[in-house]
Amino acid sequence: MSESSSQSVLFDRTPSFSFEFFPPKTQEGAASLLDTVVKLQEFHPSFVSVTYGAGGGSRELTRAVVCDMQSRGIPTVPHLTCVGHTEAEIEDILHHYIAAGARAIMVLRGDPPRNGVYNPGQDAFRHAADLVRFIRAWEDRQRLPQRLTLGVAGFAEGHPDSRNRLREMDFLKAKLDEGADYICTQLFFDNHAFFDFRDRCRLMDIHVPIIAGIMPVTSISSMNRMAELSAGTNFPARLLKAMLRAGGDKQTIERLGINYASNQCGELLDADVDGIHFYTLNRSKATLEIYHNLGFNNYYDVDRLRMLNNIYKS
Ligand SMILES: Cc1cc2nc3c(=O)[nH]c(=O)nc-3n(C[C@H](O)[C@H](O)[C@H](O)COP(=O)(O)OP(=O)(O)OC[C@H]3O[C@@H](n4cnc5c(N)ncnc54)[C@H](O)[C@@H]3O)c2cc1C
């Protein structure tokens, strides 16, 4: 682990466990997210993160959710994308998050909005690495008492835009060289892809924590949506066979999907993963069941795992 990240509150206890939420658009959605947060908070996550949309309205919602979580004392990592932003806008957002008490940011390029007019010529930043560099320089100018912890995206199975997987690793390395502290991966269902990615990172002299992004399949429609959103993610035959075995029974599909993700997590923990990040879709059920399948009934069980890990390592 790099010095800066090992000092970060996000990684003071490893493996880290974290949950990702998206900003809800309705009152019901907000109430449901709050219920989810209360249930998952029982396990004292290392942090929660809040995604950032492509449009102005949803971007405001991210800010609101981040402030709300922070005010509840939950360490919150806002996602920040550079698509469609000027330097002044980014500075304004950074001031806002610092004032809300956020001490970490997930720095991304984002994707151009699907609907509406988008003029890339107006963007101040082309790639996530440019935004990482800008935030580090901004921090110096602000003389912040504590360096922000910056996360960046990693794609164990490759980013869909990349035609050259070797160059892609150079571009990933550039984000770390500009000052990022950790990598969180796109969701994946094949642990070998993650282990290979981790090995490739180490070969590139990347030694920051690499957090594994996990999203359980809970329905066939959610699986189809995941395939769309996480373009490029491989759905292994083993997972598809399990789904077929369920024969369309919704409860069985959910149970098999949760079991599959639980096995993934168990194997990752055995292989000394730095952290697991759950893509929750603002629901607690699947994540809580994975916790129970892993033998975690409460926060103390999670901490026991960390203690045992440290004993094995020393
Ligand atoms: C953990 C995680 C969280 C995410 N959260 C959000 C979110 O909240 N909101 C959202 O809109 N999206 C989110 N995304 C999606 C992400 O924004 C998209 O996948 C986007 O296409 C890539 O973002 P990036 O930060 O990896 O971009 P970059 O690191 O800029 O890379 C984008 C592409 O450009 C290539 N590249 C990088 N540098 C160069 C260069 N110098 N020259 C040529 N090519 C280059 C890369 O290889 C890659 O193909 C998330 C993804 C992950 C994995």
Q: Is 111 exposed, middle or buried (0-12, 13-18, 19+ CB in 10 A)?
A: middle
pLDDT of residue 6: 41
Nearest to 2 by CA among 161, 199, 213, 151: 151
Pocket of ligand 1 (CB under 6 A): 51-52, 54, 79, 81, 108-111, 127-129, 153, 159, 161-162, 168, 171, 175, 184, 186, 213
State the average pLDDT over residues 215-242. Answer: 94
State which ligand 1 atom lies nearest to the alpha carbon of 128.
30
Alpha carbons 80 and 69: distance in angstroms, whole number: 16
- Which CATH code, of 3.40.50.2300, 3.30.420.40, 3.20.20.220, 3.30.413.10, is assigned to 3-313? 3.20.20.220
pLDDT interval class at 259 (50, 70, 90): very high
What pTM did the predictor assign?
0.96
Active site residue 20: yes
Q: Decide if pLDDT at 3 tops 70.
A: no
Which residues make beta-bridge pairs with 124? none
Pocket test for ligand 1, best of 109, 167, 194 (most atoms within 8 A of CB): 109
Residue 4's pLDDT band (boundaries 50, 70, 90)? very low
**Token pair 């033998």 is at which residue?**
295
Per-residue pLDDT for 5 more than 50?
A: no
* pLDDT of res. 230: 87
Best of 20, 131, 171 to mutate for ligand 1, by most ligand atoms within 8 A of CB? 171
CB atoms within 10 A of CB 304: 12
